Chain A
Amino acid sequence: DAGVIQSPRHEVTEMGQEVTLRCKPISGHDYLFWYRQTMMRGLELLIYFNNNVPIDDSGMPEDRFSAKMPNASFSTLKIQPSEPRDSAVYFCASSFPGSDEQYFGPGTRLTVT
């Protein structure tokens, strides 16, 4: 299995621009998680889905952030408009039915200038 796939691996954008991060979970997994990691705040859970339905989005920092999961094999995290404080590494993770072990993707390093 290819593991969790994230794209792009690196994104550099200017303040005010829209950013879309993409994730393909491992086939057969029913939970999908989006995390943000910074030196200051550590690892933060932003939102997670079960069978494509958002379960808890309480970690989404503000209305500029939105996430979708249109089908079992694809999810997006969008930031619009982006701000320099959004600079971080964003991870996607998934887990298979009946398990609480999470499999992480390699992350997307976002830099907003």
Chain B
Amino acid sequence: GNSVTQMEGPVTLSEEAFLTINCTYTATGYPSLFWYVQYPGEGLQLLLKATKADDKGSNKGFEATYRKETTSFHLEKGSVQVSDSAVYFCALSPMNRDDKIIFGKGTRLHILP
């Protein structure tokens, strides 16, 4: 079946550090892949997405590349800010839209000033 595995947190970094949050998936065919972000006290919001192999999604300085050969969609940012402190969720949407979206368990990120 479909599944998403992301690195456990919390991840603690200093401001301006480089960020990587790993995400790998298992799925048939070519699912769409997403990163969602949840700030304290809020609902999840879409951060970026990619719909086919080698696509790169980007937003707010974050990037992730859809790697079919390694079934990965790692989230990266070159220089994090305190305001990036949040929980990040990797997600997979199967090709069949009536199959439910699968979310990872989330990775909590703390950025220290």
B97 within 8 A of A: yes
Collect the chain A residues with CB atoms within 8 Å of residue B43's CB.
4, 91, 93, 104-107
How far is the CB of B95 from the nearest CB of chain A, in Å? 10
Q: How many residues of B contact A (CB 8 A)?
A: 18
Range of interface residues on A (Cβ < 8 Å):
10 to 19
Contact of A104 with B106 in the complex, beta carbons under 8 Å: no
A62 within 8 A of B: no
Collect the chain A residues with CB atoms within 8 Å of residue B100's CB.
45, 48, 56
Q: Provided the pairs A45-B100, A91-B43 are in contact, do residues A101 and B49 lie with their beta carbons within 8 angstroms?
A: yes
Contact of B101 with A43 in the complex, beta carbons under 8 Å: no
A93→B93 CA distance, assembly (Å): 15
Collect the chain A residues with CB atoms within 8 Å of residue B97's CB.
100
How far is the CB of B103 from the nearest CB of chain A, in Å? 5
Is chain A's interface secondary structure helix, strand, loop, or mixed overall?
A: strand
B69 within 8 A of A: no
Contact of B106 with A45 in the complex, beta carbons under 8 Å: no
How far is the CB of A45 from the nearest CB of chain B, in Å? 6
Which residues between 66 and 97 of chain B lie within 8 Å of chain A, taking CB atoms? 89, 93, 97
Contact of B46 with A50 in the complex, beta carbons under 8 Å: no
Residues 45-85 of A, flagged 1 when their CB comes within 8 A of B and 0 if not, give 10010100001100000000000000000000000000000
B45 within 8 A of A: yes
A103→B98 CA distance, assembly (Å): 17
Collect the chain A residues with CB atoms within 8 Å of residue B17's CB.
none
How far is the CB of B62 from the nearest CB of chain A, in Å? 16
A48→B106 CA distance, assembly (Å): 21
Contact of A104 with B45 in the complex, beta carbons under 8 Å: yes
B34 within 8 A of A: yes
Which of B32, B93, B100 gathers most chain A CB within 10 Å? B100
Collect the chain B residues with CB atoms within 8 Å of residue A105's CB.
43
Given contact pairs A42-B103, A48-B100, enumerate 10 new A-B contacts (beta carbons under 8 Å): A56-B98, A56-B100, A91-B44, A101-B34, A102-B44, A102-B101, A103-B45, A104-B44, A106-B42, A107-B42
Measured CB to CB, the residues of B under 8 A from A are 32, 34, 41-46, 49, 89, 93, 97-98, 100-101, 103, 105-106
